[in-house]
Structure formats: structure tokens, C-alpha cells
Amino acid sequence: MKKNFVLIIVMLMTSSFFAGINIQKAGGVINSSSTLVENDVDLPVWNLMDKWVYDVQISAEQTQYFTMDFNLNINNLEFQVVEIQNNLDLYKLKMTVPQGGLYGSGNVVLDIFSLSGNIMNGKLDGFMYVKKSTLQINKCEGTIEGDTNKVLLPHFKVGFKLEPEEVVGDELVKTNFSSIKFPMNLDEIFTVSFYYLNMSINAQQPNLGQSHMYTYINEHEKKCEDWDILTVGSKEYDSLKISGVDYGTSTNIWFSQAAGNIVKIDYKNLQLGSGYLVRTFTMDLKSTTFQADSDAPKTPSKPSGGTDFLAGETGTYQTSTTDPDGNKIRYIFDWDDGTSKTYTGFVNSGEIVEVEHLWGKGGSHEVKVKARDKYGLESSWSDPLTVNVINNAPGKPSKPNGPSSGSYKDTHTYSTSSSDPDNHKIRYGWDWNGDNSVDQWTDLYNSGQTVSTSHKWSSKGTYNIKVKAQDEYGEESEWSDPLPVNIPKTSTHKSLIYQFIIKLENKYPFIEQLLKKLFT
């Protein structure tokens, strides 16, 4: 049980670091519809001491040879380049999880016994060897150890080695493996060949000896599907999403040229063969020291476009700049109106971009733009373009129309209306307690439309209810004239009687009028 458990942990942490385990098969041939002048993602060049730190979560089970189910957390899984072996075309990476960073829970059921418990205070130490020219895994080895809450197995330590192999003729020979191929471009589809993974497990504590196990990775396809922006700490990473879905398995990987590595992995329903199912596997970048050898784009030109608008109108804006290295650029527009920034797609250096923006908030806004290359390096903000937006407030709503008194147990309906000089849609904010604060906002209605809203008070009193109008872009009217509403005093004893009355009315409708005469 312990060997199989460690097998899954090792396979996922090592192979998946480079988008490894995936046994989907969709058919087809290598194809790309990309017409880009340069590649969207090139092979990154790592430097000595470059480091990436990840958090990992795994939920998996085994159902074929025995029953096993576990959930595992791995915090601060670190990979650091500690040696560059140019003669062997290899990077040597130190691979560590600090003491206490590995923990979780699980259970196993065999024919003769069952066991469940927690793994605590775990750690990992090892090395990974990665081919420089492809970023494929050459070999991974190390130890995992930790504690459990079981008397018979209070501590464990297991050594492991993973080596990819392929069939050549009638023999298995050592090779290199990854599910990512460089370069990568948007809309590209590429095929990953069939591989074996040779796992060597040495259970040092408890002393269970050494064993070997093979698992395999089927030929499968990946598609570079889309660009996403992922945030790590305070830094944004433009990440190419590489995905595949087949037979209920979903694999999504986000690779960022700016991080020089994977930023996120999200696998669901991953079949590893021999009854192993990974329900979920996630791996998220926490930090990196990687920096590409590149220069930032030059500051973009001041945005050009419309400068005077009525709220609800759309403006069109243009800008451009160049990148000293000729890299592709994306532009980020800041509208200074409380809305989200606009991110363009990647375009060639020097190419003019054009974006649209819907103006809603009234006032004066300073529009600016900056450029970012695919390595994450950003220019300064451009000079601002001043845009003036006019938004006239809705008219004062009519005094609420509805009952001026009633019982605390009844729901009362009130209506009002207002008109917007710009013909914008309107929502209404009701003040039911007379304290000049909005207790309830309605949905949006057409200008001039009469709107009804219901309310029920929970205590006695006289309430000066009123209403204000707000257009769809946030401009508000003044409060309407108030309508006094009297909710009569009701004693605690009488309140209890009313509750009893309600029950009787529901059960005996024919005595409703009699009871009302007695208690109202």
C-alpha cells in the first residue's frame, strides 16, 4: 500500500511539473493554423539558481487490485537550477518540499485488513534532470519521508527513481519525456508519443525492500487553446492555455514565457492505468526568480480617439509602440472610470492597435496605455488623453403611492416613477425607515415607467418612506417627497394572539371574520 501511494505522489509531482501524465487520445495529426511571424512561446533559457515554488493538491483512488482513497497537500514544492551540464545538454534541478509541507489523509482496504489515517510532517528531497534543448525530463530521484498517526507505522521513508523509456525495436531504452513541445503557437495541435515510466521504489522505513513498476503514457494530443492572464502575488503572467478533453478526462496547463515555466495545472478524472484514478490534481505557481534576457517595450504613443461623450456612448482608441527585441506586444488600457482595464491580444512590434470602450461614469477621465511583451516586461504608461463624459441625473421620483397605514403582518405595495433626461434605464432605491439610506434597490426599468415595490414592516411605528432614482451608469436623483405610513402599536400579548389567529384562519377560514372582530 505504501509503495503504491508513493508511486502516485512521485509520478504526479515530477512528470506533471512538465505537463506529464495524460493518457487521452483524440486522433489526428500535428497541425497549426497560426500565421504568426514569431512564435508565441519559445524554448526558455534557464540560468543557474533560477527557482520556481508551487503548491499542489491531489485527490486520487485505486480500485482494481485493492481499494485506496487519499487526499494530499504539498506546500512549497521547490525546483531550483543548481547545475547546468552543457556537455550532456542537461539542467540539474534540486527538488524539495520543506518539513511539514507534505500532509493529507487516506484509507486502504485489503482482503485481510483496512487502514485509514493521516500523513503529517512530511518532506521531500531529490533531484530532477531536464534536457536543455527540449525541457524534457531525463530522470528524477529522491526520498519522501514523514509521520503518520498510526502506532504500527509512526514514520516512513521511501526512496524513488523515475526514468522515461521508449520502445526501440524489441527493447526499452532510456529517453526524455514531456507533454510540452517547443515552440508553441496559439491554435497549434501537437502529438505526444507513447512512453513508459520506469519507477524504482525503495522502502527504507519500514524495511520493505526494493521494487520496480512500469506505467505508461499513451500517445495523445494537446491544443494551444487560448491566452489567459494568471496572477501570482502582485504579478500578472500572460499564459498560453494548453488543453485536452477526452473520455471524461480534462487536462489544462498554463505555460508562461514570462515565468519560463508552467504557472498552473488543473487535471480532472485522470486515468493512470491499473485502476488508478486521479480525481483532481492542481499545481499553482507561488513565486519564481526567473527573468528573461529581454528589454521592455518602448512607451506607447498617447491614445488617440474621441474625447467628448454622453454616458452610454462608445469611443474608439488607437496606439502603438515598438519592442527593442522585436517581440510581440500586448497593450493594457486604463480608463480611469472604475471599470476593468482592457487587454489587447498580442500583436507584432510596431503594429497599431484599436480598442473600443463604453463610457458610463460621468466626469473627466485620464485614459492611458502601457505595453507588455511576452516575457512580461512592461513599458511606462503613456501620456494621458482626457475624455469628458456627460451624464444627467434622473428626475426627482414621484411621491410613493400606496397605503398610509396597515398591520405589521401585512405586505404593502407602493409605486413611483421618474424620467431620465438621457433616456437611460433607471433603478429605484427605497428608504422604508425614513433614515435617508437605501434599504432596497430594484431592477432596472425604462425611463418614465411606473414601478411597484412591496415591503413588510416588523415593528410598530410611523415611517416616512421615500425613494430615489439611479440611472444605469450610477447617476442619482434627489429623494422623493416622503409618504408617512403608520403601523399601529401592538402589545406582546396581542402579537401572540395574532400568531394564533393566523393558524386558525389557515385551518378554519369560515371563522376568519369572527376572529378579526374580536381582536382588531
Alpha carbon 205 to its chain centroid, in Å, reads: 39
Alpha carbon distance 452, 428 (integer Å): 10
In sequence order, the 6+-apart residues with CB closer than 8 A to the CB of 339 are 357, 360, 361
Cell numbers standing for residue 333: 488600457
Least confident of 287-291, 431-435, 447-451, 475-479: 431-435
Flag whether pLDDT at 282 surpasses 80.
yes
pLDDT recorded at residue 34: 34
- Contact in structure between 229 and 238 (CB atoms under 8 Å): yes
Which sequence spans correspond to the domains of the chain?
2-288, 304-390, 412-489, 491-520
pLDDT at 233 over 70: yes
Share of the chain above pLDDT 90, in %: 61
Is residue 12 packed enough to be buried (19+ CB in 10 Å), middle (13-18) or exposed (0-12)? Answer: buried
pLDDT tens sequence across 51-61: 999 999 999 88
pLDDT beyond 70 at 216: yes
Mean pLDDT of 236-261: 88
pLDDT class of 270 with cuts at 50, 70, 90: confident
Higher pLDDT, 417 or 519: 417
- Class (C level, CATH) for 304-390: mainly beta
The backbone torsions φ and ψ at residue 26, rounded to the nearest 5 degrees and listed phi first, read -115, -10
- Tell whether the model's pLDDT for residue 32 goes beyond 50: no
Cβ partners under 8 Å of residue 507, min gap 6: none
Confidence (pLDDT) at 406: 87
Average pLDDT over residues 302-329: 96
Q: Does residue 242 have a pLDDT over 70?
A: yes
Same fold, 304-390 and 412-489: yes
pLDDT given at position 18 = 38
pLDDT digits (tens, 9 = 90+) for 81-136: 999 999 999 999 999 999 999 999 988 776 665 668 898 999 999 999 999 999 99
User: For 411, how many CA atoms within 13 A lie in the half-sphere containing its CB?
Assistant: 4
Q: Give the DSSP letter of residue 87.
A: G
How far is residue 420's CA from residue 415's CA, in Å, rounded to a whole number? 17
Nearest of 135, 218, 215 to residue 180 by alpha carbon: 135
For 301, counting Cβ atoms within 10 Å of its Cβ (0-12 exposed, 13-18 middle, 19+ buried), the class is middle
Strands (E), 220-326: 220-232, 235-246, 249-256, 261-273, 276-288, 304-305, 308-310, 314-319
Mean pLDDT, range 482-510, rounded to an integer: 64
Residue 512: per-residue pLDDT: 59
Note the pLDDT of residue 213. 74
Residue whose entry in the numeric block shows the C-alpha cell 378579526: 516
Per-residue pLDDT reduced to its tens digit, 356-393: 999 999 999 999 999 999 999 999 999 999 999 999 99
CA–CA separation, 379 vs 492, rounded Å? 70
CATH of domain 412-489: 2.60.40
Distances (CA, A) of 310 to 68, 185, 473: 64, 41, 11
The mean pLDDT value of the chain amounts to 86
Confidence of residue 21 (pLDDT cuts 50, 70, 90): very low
Q: Which three cell numbers stand for residue 393?
A: 441625473
For position 330, what pLDDT does the model report? 96
Choose between 407 and 416: higher pLDDT: 416
Q: Which residue has the higher pLDDT, 1 or 180?
A: 180
Which of the two residues, 211 and 51, has the higher pLDDT score?
51
Assess whether pLDDT exceeds 90 at residue 342: yes
pLDDT for the residue 497: 58
Q: How confident is the model at residue 408 (pLDDT cuts 50, 70, 90)?
A: confident
207-224 mean pLDDT: 78
Give the range among 25-29, 82-86, 323-327 with minimum mean pLDDT: 25-29
